[in-house]
Each structure stands twice: as structure tokens, then as C-alpha cells.
Amino acid sequence: MALMLLLTIYFLLPVYFLIVAATKPQGDLASTNGLAFSHFNLFSNLHTLFTRSDGIFLHWALNSVIYAVLGAAVGTLISALCGYALAKFQFRGKEFLFSVILGGVLVPTTALALPLFLLFSATGIVNTYWAVFLPSIVSPFGVYLARIFASAAVPQELLESARLDGAGEFRTFFSVASRLMAPSLVTIFLFQFVAIWNNFFLPMVMLQKESLFPVTLGLYTWNGQTARAPLLQQSVITGSLVSIVPVIIVFILLQRFWRTGLATGSLK
């Protein structure tokens, strides 16, 4: 119990520090104890954050939401279709395709970023939304999970009877199978959402235009400028807090989905 408490303090300390620091005026950051509140200045910090450089932070936050929400939604749909087909249809080369996908789970995604940059610059989509969005929708791990979930959640007899009733395969998928798979689809969505939200290397390689940055790359850029512009420090801190709080809340609300996903992912 004591060990657990100690570890919990370790895991919560940086976030607590961030909360405290985000409420302080810039001048108090170095001069007051980092773990104790001083002048409550959060609202003015937020105001500075959102108005700095013509409100670029809001742009970054919206970009992150666009990349992560849309990317994960499209990614979940295509993973579900593919995983469902691999679980429920019989066709030649199925196991081969599945092992290629599993091989994809092991490919380090950072190794893909540089060749992708060269390919994308040849086609002219580098430095656009597409350059970050398109590679983000592919999640081999999502297909792997979708296949396992589809085998477990969708009984074969149900598909047979839907076929006898004359429903097409897509109709069966969208009106019957996808409903049975709904909780697991949420799981796949969450995994991919976090992967895209946390992604840093791909956008850094692909984007030069600041207005396209996700929040991770934006804050990284600001953080690199604090040596020259020390007043940016407070905005980096407040910006960090603003960008992690919504995701943490969603996490806590949806935690049961994580557990089913991780349990399935670890079955071999």
C-alpha cells in the first residue's frame, strides 16, 4: 500500500506541478515554490495563450483535433471492414494478408516518415493537411484487434440468416455486425486517437507551415524559443495543460474500453 502510494505520487507529480505552474504569473515561476500556489493568474495566462501570435494556439489545438478525430474515425472504419472480412470470409491468401498486416505492427513508424516525406514531396502533398492525415489512418494494430473482436462478437449463424433474408454483405456489416462490434470499435478508435494525438515525428518531418501544426509540434517550437523569449515559458506551460486535460478526462470516462482492448491485444 505504501509502495503504491509512493508510485502514485510519482505518476501524479508532473501533472500537479503543471497545474500549479499554469496558475502563476510568469514572474512567480522561478521565484516561488513550484509545488505551492501563489497569485492565481490562470485566466490571464489563458488569455495570453490564446491571443499570442494571432491565436495560433487555437489553430494548433483544432488541427490536433482534426488529425486525431477524423484520422481515428476513418482508420477505425477501414480497420473494422478489413478485420471483419479477415474474420468472417473464407478466401485464398487470407492468412498471408494477415501476416503482412502483423508484420506492419512491428515496422517502426518513424522509419516510415523520411521515405514518406520524399514520396510526398514528389507528389506535392508535403506541407498540407493530407501529408499528416493520410498516413495516420493506417493502423495494422487496429485490423488485428478488429479481427479478434469480430470473431468473438459476431456469430456466424447471424450472418447466414441475414444472407438468407437477402441482405447484401455491406448492409449486414453496417446494420448487424457493426452494432455487435460497437464496444470494440470504440476501443480501436481510442487507440488510434491517442497514437495520432501523440504523434510528433511525422508532422515534424512533413510540415513547415505553422498554421498546419498539431499542438505537440507547436508547443515544441515555442519551447525551443524560450531561451530568446523567456515570456513564452508561461504559454508553453499553460498550453501543455490545456492540451492534456481534455484527453485525460475522456480517458477516465472511457476507461473500461481500454481494459477490454488491452486484454484482447495481449492474447497470443
Quote the cell numbers at residue 121.
Answer: 514531396
Quote the cell numbers at residue 86.
Answer: 479477415
Which range in 39-47, 52-60, 136-144, 181-189 contacts another protein by CB under 8 A? 136-144
Q: Which is nearer to another protein, 72 or 101 (CB)?
A: 101
User: How far is the C-alpha of 229 from the C-alpha of 227, rounded, in Å?
Assistant: 6
Based on the shown chain and the rule CB under 8 A, indicate whether residue 6 belongs to the binding site for another protein: no
Site string for another protein, 61-100 (x = CB under 8 A): ----------------xxx-xx-xx---xxxxxx-xx--x
Backbone angles phi, psi at 129, to 5 degrees: -55, -40
CB contact at 8 A, 48 and 235: yes
Instruction: Return the residues of window 22-51 that contact another protein according to CB under 8 A.
Output: 29-30, 33-35
Measured between alpha carbons, how far is residue 137 from residues 72, 79, 85, 265 in Å? 6, 9, 18, 19
Residue 89 Cβ vs another protein, minimum distance, rounded to whole Å = 5
Q: Based on C-alpha coordinates, what's the Rg of the chain?
A: 23
**Which are the contacts of 160, defined by CB distance < 8 A and separation ≥ 6?**
none
Based on the shown chain and the rule CB under 8 A, indicate whether residue 208 belongs to the binding site for another protein: no
Residue 240 Cβ vs another protein, minimum distance, rounded to whole Å = 5
Count of positions on this chain that bind another protein (CB under 8 A) = 95
Based on the shown chain and the rule CB under 8 A, indicate whether residue 158 belongs to the binding site for another protein: no
Residue linked to cell 505537440:
216
Quote the cell numbers at residue 92.
Answer: 485464398
Quote the cell numbers at residue 75.
Answer: 482508420
Quote the cell numbers at residue 6.
Answer: 509512493
Residue 119 Cβ vs another protein, minimum distance, rounded to whole Å = 6
Site string for another protein, 186-205 (x = CB under 8 A): --------x--xx-xx---x
Which range in 38-46, 48-56, 178-186, 244-252 contacts another protein by CB under 8 A? 244-252
Based on the shown chain and the rule CB under 8 A, indicate whether residue 115 belongs to the binding site for another protein: yes
Based on the shown chain and the rule CB under 8 A, indicate whether residue 12 belongs to the binding site for another protein: yes
